[in-house]
Chain A
């Protein structure tokens, strides 16, 4: 590894695909191409808008995964963390339906963050203190969230209102780009900013260096005085919060209501995006965009009446791409070296 910020091949591929998508989108939408042309269907503003909406929860889920895994805690429980966040956000929103809309929604976001943090903390506690296999702990989170939210959910509850788009002055007037990126509800902006923040934090701050050290070489980190398990606790809890926000996005910004099992595998696609993006924030965002685009395109093809490609095969794409990436067919992805391993200080029982 020459430089920590150097993008690996797969994360470049992922990011490249996302950038190409945007460029093609801009060109297609600025040229006088007829409305029924295939280009318009595949790259129209509405398709790309849908893509962004599908991408946000995946990107947040992937950031949650990166936060945990960079410090050495495997997180396959993103799905459960998201679902817990979605449910908590929903309940908080319903409980404050009588408040003005914005405070009520923000209260919902706070609840989603808190529930996600709780899930993250449980994951850290089980993985670190009780030395549970981290994959089993993640499985536990998925089952627990699925069971608890189904058990507690009362279909009579109705959340009133959701976040509406906020147009950014000036920027939203840019043709195409403005329509896609600068006229969105708040969690969408937050998510995009978070990707950049996480990249800077991971690779250009003391916190990031220490977090990565805990995930790559905990013994060495310990030797220079870094409290490995403290970083693991902190980042897994933070990761849970980010996954909780993804759940909050689904309830408070996208759908407006809670449905049983509404995360519908997004946590697993996030996991795939994180891996395909090679545990890099921008790589994962690129992968999430690609995966979001498979959903956007399905939608667009259906609306355009293009039916000779079964939607099932388009939906398979994220999963197939991920297998190809982990199998190293497009340049190997590499997880943090100490992932999944319990760290015990010298002199303790191991």
Chain B
């Protein structure tokens, strides 16, 4: 960050850009092989994302959860940890924020909204702390524990809104009786909803501003503070950081709590700004997308912001692409997967495009093994 130069900027953008380009090309080949028209598909995709005010609005709406889960995975990477648990932390953030959003009724929005978002952050933070604490105290690898915690969170969240069964099963504590057999929470009260920047039909809410501020906060935290320095040192050289007197255990727990907090915030913002309630099917692939975003952004907060914007545009344009060209929007997940592969293995990109590895170039992805 300090010694900024155009050449370095170009270097750091080269691999992600080539990864995106290659993924789009391979995606086109797959579409062509399957008998679809890739040109029409990409045209529809682009128009869906940027061809109209509504397209832009959808892109921006989908930007914040991707941005925050991307930051969540990225900050863990910075500390040498692999957070596959963003989706579970997102889920816990959602449940905590929805609980505050439906249970406090006499509260002005100026207090209620921040309180509900904070609750979501807390939910994610606590859920993120578990794998951190387990890793430090018992050595349990965070990849295994976060995958398991994702399922536990999803089942727990599912239980809270469970509508009960026909044989007299007890419904969950957050279930909305007005929804009858549907498992979902009641809508959060008006005072807990994040206000719109642009109201319906655009439905762009102020959560995106919060997400963008978070980029700067994270960049400051990672690159300008002692905590950030310790975090990166632990990530780059675990042993050396021990000898340097860094409290490694605490740093690991802190990194996981931060990662959890960011994913929890994503859940809160999505709930209070877009969905206004929780149902078990919400959340989807948000955790895995966060991994792609973080790597595409080379774990740099600003890079993550850009990568998230790009992936949000893909997600936003999918519906129009399917409508215009008849190409199933499921192809976007294929393209996401290919981007992940190409950006995570710069060797493939270097191999295809015959790029030499710069000597000063640091690996952006950590090397991880179960043993730890």
Residues on A facing B (Cβ under 8 Å): 69, 74, 76, 126, 129-137, 139-140, 142-144, 146-148, 150-152, 265, 268, 271-272, 275, 302, 305, 307-308, 310-313, 315-316, 319-320, 322-323, 326-329, 334-335, 337-342
Contacts and interface: CB of A to CB of B under 8 A. Distances in A.
Contact of B158 (A143, A144, A312, A327): A312
23 contacts: A69-B370, A74-B369, A131-B345, A133-B344, A133-B366, A136-B291, A136-B295, A137-B341, A137-B345, A140-B340, A143-B285, A143-B333, A150-B328, A268-B147, A268-B151, A272-B148, A319-B149, A320-B148, A326-B138, A327-B145, A339-B370, A340-B367, A340-B371
B345 A130 contact: yes
Contacts of A310: 159, 162, 169-170, 172
Contact of A307 (B151, B169, B369, B370): B169
A268 B146 CA distance: 11
Given A130-B347, A146-B333, A305-B167, A326 B141 contact: yes
Contacts of B159: 310, 312-313
A139 B140 contact: no
Interface string B210-234: 0000000000000000000000000
Contacts of A275: 144
A328 B141 CA distance: 11
B162 A140 contact: no
Interface string B164-191: 0101111010000000000000000000
B40 interface: no
A73 to B, nearest CB: 11
A18 B34 CA distance: 45
Contacts of B168: 307
A152 B147 CA distance: 27
B109 interface: no
B331 interface: yes
Q: Which of B172, B330, B348 has the most CB of A within 10 A?
A: B330
Given A147-B336, A151-B334, A339 B369 contact: yes
Given A130-B351, A150-B330, A327-B134, A136 B344 contact: yes
B371 A337 contact: yes
A135 B144 contact: no
Q: Interface size for chain B: under 10, 10 to 19, 20 to 34, or 35 or more residues?
A: 35 or more
Contacts of B370: 69, 74, 335, 339-340
A322 B334 contact: no
A39 to B, nearest CB: 21
Contacts of B158: 312
B155 interface: yes
What does DSSP make chain B's interface, helix, strand, loop or mixed? helix
B170 to A, nearest CB: 7
B351 A316 contact: no
A196 B371 CA distance: 27
A36 to B, nearest CB: 15
B256 interface: no
B154 to A, nearest CB: 9
Contact of B333 (A126, A132, A135, A150): A150
Interface in B50-68: none
Contact of A135 (B82, B156, B351): B82
Contacts of B162: 310, 312
Contact of A327 (B84, B140, B155, B347): B140
Contact of A126 (B140, B151, B345): B345
A315 B337 contact: no
Contacts of A144: 334, 337-338, 341
B83 to A, nearest CB: 11
B288 interface: yes
Given A130-B347, A308-B170, A142 B148 contact: no
B299 to A, nearest CB: 12
Contact of A136 (B30, B347, B365, B371): B365
Contact of B156 (A302, A312, A327): A312
Nearest to B82: A135
Nearest to A150: B330
Nearest to B171: A310
B190 to A, nearest CB: 30
A14 B294 CA distance: 37
A147 B291 CA distance: 16
Contacts of A268: 147-148, 151
B152 interface: yes
Interface string B337-359: 11011001101100100000000
B169 A140 contact: no
A133 B148 contact: no
Contacts of A142: 288
A328 B138 CA distance: 7
A326 B145 contact: yes
B304 to A, nearest CB: 16
